[in-house]
Amino acid sequence: MSEVIDGRKMSAEVIGKVKALTADLAAKGGGKPGLAVVIVGEDPASQVYVANKSRTAKECGFHSVQHTLPADAAEADLLKLIGELNADPAIHGILVQLPVPDHIDSGKVIQTIAPEKDVDGFTFVNVGKLGTGEAETAFVPCTPAGSMLLIERVRGKDLSGLNAVVIGRSNIVGKPMANLLLAANCTVTVAHSRTKDLAALARTADILVAAVGRPEMVKGDWVKPGATVIDVGINRIPAPEKSEGKTRLVGDVAYAGAAEVAGAITPVPGGVGPMTIAMLMANTVASAYLAAGLARPR
């Protein structure tokens, strides 16, 4: 059986480091890291994510603020709020919870965030830095950054020459994940919905990352023996075995079958998920250090 990669343990380590850095920053006269989370509307899943982010920020000792705009808020009001947060010296990280309602242009919203406060790593400046090999000075999107830490935990930092297959090419997960693996000297293939013979391609991967949003799509016989499997997917499916109307979370990988073949694998829940929030905190504390004129902590 494969090693289970414990995202909860790793995220607790990251959070522990963030807390220590926050205390050190105050001791150096740098004040508190400030995180502003903005949510538009009342999507229940988004509300849970936002509440978790705000709670973790408080646990880390941050100045944490949440702005909730009504679902029919005008785009101009959201852009104005971001402008105010950009100018607020107590705020070092701005996060707009996606998706925003359809009448708001999410691209415009994201590009309004000052790159030095873009702790989600979605602005052109941060995407461009990662894409041109300047990851050290970029804010890297939290989910792939957290996935990378989990991979390094198993494989070490030098991934030279390993074959990596990333299934999914979103701007939030797939593309930045591919760039991070490329920067770590992997030979990277990015697969998507038009890829032919995905199973055979996946079987070439020493590192297989699934970021698709399709429950248990990646089967055990898609996995190369000994591969490191990172399951980013979070899918809620019916669980009639629990009781009528109940649901459970599964990833994009059919866990039981894949775990028999993989060298190491992330579970869902408890794998990549907890890392995302931890990396958001790490990016925010880094932003606060830079704002205070201090070296970025590593």
Residues that bind ligand NDP (CB under 6 A): 143, 167-170, 172-174, 191-195, 198, 211-214, 232-235, 272-273, 276
- Beta strand 235-238 with 247-250 is antiparallel
Backbone dihedral region of 140: left (phi > 0), alpha (psi from -120 to 50 degrees) or beta? Answer: beta
CB of 89 to ligand NDP, least distance (A): 30
CB of 199 to ligand NDP, least distance (A): 10
Q: Considering the complex, state which of residue 32 and residue 146 has its C-beta at the smaller distance from ligand NDP.
A: 146
Q: Considering the complex, state which of residue 93 and residue 168 has its C-beta at the smaller distance from ligand NDP.
A: 168
Q: Considering the complex, state which of residue 115 and residue 273 has its C-beta at the smaller distance from ligand NDP.
A: 273
Spatial distance between the Cα atoms of 246 and 243, rounded to a whole number of angstroms: 6
Spatial distance between the Cα atoms of 82 and 104, rounded to a whole number of angstroms: 14
Overall size of the chain counted in residues: 298
CA atoms within 13 A on the CB side of 121: 34
Q: Is 9 a catalytic residue?
A: no
CB 275 within 8 A of CB 10: yes
Q: Considering the complex, state which of residue 78 and residue 280 has its C-beta at the smaller distance from ligand NDP.
A: 280
Beta strands in 194-265 (DSSP E): 207-210, 228-231, 235-238, 247-250, 264-265
CB of 147 to ligand NDP, least distance (A): 8
- How many distinct helices (H) and strands (E) make up the chain? 10, 11
Residue ranges of the annotated binding site for NADP(+) are 168-170, 234
Q: Considering the complex, state which of residue 151 and residue 167 has its C-beta at the smaller distance from ligand NDP.
A: 167
Q: Is 105 a catalytic residue?
A: no
Q: Which of these is catalytic: 32, 117, 118, 120?
A: 120
CB 151 within 8 A of CB 230: yes
Provide φ and ψ at 125, rounded to 5°: -60, -50
CB of 220 to ligand NDP, least distance (A): 17
CB of 183 to ligand NDP, least distance (A): 19
Residue nearest to ligand NDP (CB): 170
Q: Is 97 a catalytic residue?
A: yes
Residue ranges of the annotated binding site are 168-170, 234
Q: Which of these is catalytic: 32, 53, 175, 224?
A: 53
Provide φ and ψ at 275, rounded to 5°: -70, -30
What DSSP letter does each residue of 18-37 carry, written as one string? Answer: HHHHHHHHHHTT----EEEE
For the annotated catalytic residues, the residue numbers are: 53, 97, 120
